[in-house]
Structure 1
Amino acid sequence: MFSGSITALATPFANGRFAESEFRALIDWQIEEGSSGLVPCGTTGEAATMSIAEHNHVLGVCVDQAAGRVPVIAGCGSNDTSVALQHMHAARDAGADAALLVPPYYNRPSQEGVFRHFEVLARDGGLPIVLYNVPARTVTDIAVETMARIKRAFPDVIVGVKDATGVLSRVSAQRALCGEEFAQLSGNDDTALAFMAMGGVGCISVTANVAPKLCAAFQAACAAGDYATALASQDRLYPLHCALFSDASPGPVKYALARVRPGFPDELRLPMTSPSAQSRQLVDEALAAAGLV
């Protein structure tokens, strides 16, 4: 259902408010440059700083602007199962193609609690689900066995995973227990090459915000089995992958977007702050190395 370079969209803000026109323009550019899907209201989209109403409005704007040209996987995660369900219903009603869902963060549920959380969302949410496993942020890991249990319970609803564990061996383990049709999407740009070689089908990419055409070409080379071309793309993009996380994300991402798309607002919401001078320098150098400025 989902493959290729899928952009984890940054959300533009201006004077503290959602900058809708800039967001719509970003979406058009992403599609024109070859991105194969869009993820609004994820980590890079600063969903954690949005009200429920604002979150759901941004989801609706993304679906509306994409207009069926590429699939939209709506960020719907919450540490409150009922709030995640509200987001899923709003995304479903807006016409999103799937929901991206983290396990509950902060609460630190057991694996049984993780399963029960996703059981409710799969049963009542009304959308296909892409699991999002990012224990560095959530503290809670979706164990491979739990992932397989969720997949077995709802085989037509649980369609894939965004794996940001950084543990490449999990690609093989998840492939063995969840099946070849289970869409494994890398959550880390810097290791996406190895992830793809081990059976991944795409990447939910931060770097694609800034370099959508290059990221799409990289994914196309991987899909074609042309790993020599993919490696050359990896070498070109690797400094940028690193630079975009040289300070708290999405600060460097928004700074980079303002460089490649003059006029894009680089405003962040607290507690996120602008990247340091050193981080900005690393981004500048990486953009130049990639031929983007």
Structure 2
Amino acid sequence: MTDLSFRGVLPALVTPFRNGRVDEAAFVALVERQIDGGVHGLVPVGTTGETATLSHEEHRRVVELCVQTARGRVPVIAGAGSNSTEEAIELVRHAKAIGADAALVVTPYYNRPNQEGHYAHFAAINDAVQLPVFVYNVPSRTSTDISNETLARLAKLPNIIGIKDATGDLTRASFQRLMCGEDWIMLSGDDPTALGYMAHGGHGCISVTANVAPEQCSAFYDAALSGDWAGALQAQDRLITLHKALFSDSSPAPTKYALAHLGLCTDEVRLPLVAASEASRREVLQAMKDAGVA
């Protein structure tokens, strides 16, 4: 049966900065806020964590801080992707060494491998490190898409245990569930369609919105996991404008603005990203009110 220790809402954590450096104190406080808000897991140094502009030293340090702060209270899935297979293996090895519970590995971006290349990339990681790995499929960012047929092959490998599916394509979820088997863990990577994804058999979501509204997102996933679809729909209706607003400008700038408005960190992002526009800020503030975020 599916290992449901990886289920529910797992925030794709922002990496807070102050004066160009990682703000470690703010990061620790954000992790504690998430756990207090009832989230089911944590995902440091993913896309929302601006991993593309972190140095290798910063990347490793943020994962270590997350694991140390979580102290086993919730699982940690460490971002560990690269378009270099060798580098991805090294990042997964580091995640295992410092005690992360799993790794999140994005499909190789820019290189645009074919399906056999995708399989070989993840198979090499599977063979190199004994740590559970989630495949992260986000074609809008990587310009490549891993097929359900390739995922079905990967699902037979012992360390490739599931997917973060940020395609927003709900039809592929049902086919994937049938093709990959009951042990395959299905996590959405798209907040707005996560209700449908859960109804198609998904187990949870690696969420951007949870950064801002951990309690509200946790309540949504608790309802969905318990089969309270009416309650989940009601929660979705409160959150949907926030889901949209947090992508009203280049992510994670709107999310960092929301957190700065709450006094939790600065809204600083690293170039080539810039701070959220005034129009985006207005949209975020209204959406926070709609969602009941103080």
TM-score where L is the length of structure 2: 0.97
> Among 166, 169, 173, which residue is 2:168 paired with?
166
Partner in structure 2 of residue 139 of structure 1: 143
Q: Aligned-pair RMSD on alpha carbons?
A: 0.8
- Decide whether the 8 Å contact of 1:88 with 1:126 is kept in 2: no
- Deviation for aligned residue 1:29: 0.8
- Deviation for aligned residue 1:263: 4.4
- Decide whether the 8 Å contact of 2:30 with 2:264 is kept in 1: no
> Among 191, 213, 225, which residue is 1:223 paired with?
225
Structure 2 segments unaligned to the other structure (5+ residues): none
> Among 41, 47, 66, which residue is 1:43 paired with?
47
> Among 65, 71, 74, which residue is 2:75 paired with?
71
Partner in structure 1 of residue 38 of structure 2: 34
Please state whether the residue corresponding to 2:220 is helix, strand or coil: helix
Partner in structure 1 of residue 190 of structure 2: 188
- Decide whether the 8 Å contact of 2:245 with 2:280 is kept in 1: yes
Structure-2 separation of matches of 1:263 and 1:8: 16
Runs of 4 or more, structure 1, over 3 Å off, are: none
Please state whether the residue corresponding to 1:96 is helix, strand or coil: coil
- Deviation for aligned residue 1:125: 2.2
Alpha-carbon displacement from aligned partner over 1:213-243 (angstroms, at most 9, x marks no partner): 1101000110111111111100000000000
Q: Which amino acid aligns with 1:75?
A: G
Please state whether the residue corresponding to 1:37 is helix, strand or coil: coil
> Among 225, 233, 236, which residue is 1:234 paired with?
236
1:257-268 correspondence runs (5 A): 257-260=259-262, 262-268=263-269
Please state whether the residue corresponding to 2:46 is helix, strand or coil: coil
Partner in structure 1 of residue 212 of structure 2: 210
Q: Which amino acid aligns with 1:54?
A: E
Partner in structure 1 of residue 154 of structure 2: 150
Q: Alignment length, in residue pairs?
A: 290
> Among 23, 28, 39, which residue is 2:27 paired with?
23
Please state whether the residue corresponding to 1:38 is helix, strand or coil: coil
Partner in structure 2 of residue 292 of structure 1: 293
Partner in structure 2 of residue 273 of structure 1: 274
> Among 198, 201, 204, which residue is 1:199 paired with?
201
Structure-2 separation of matches of 1:54 and 1:193: 34
Structure-1 separation of matches of 2:264 and 2:35: 19
> Among 129, 133, 138, which residue is 1:129 paired with?
133
- Deviation for aligned residue 1:126: 2.5
Q: Which amino acid aligns with 1:286?
A: A
Q: Which amino acid aligns with 1:235?
A: D
- Deviation for aligned residue 1:289: 1.2
- Decide whether the 8 Å contact of 1:28 with 1:65 is kept in 2: yes
Please state whether the residue corresponding to 1:174 is helix, strand or coil: helix
TM-score where L is the length of structure 1: 0.98
Counting aligned pairs with the same residue, the percent is 55
Structure 1 segments unaligned to the other structure (5+ residues): none
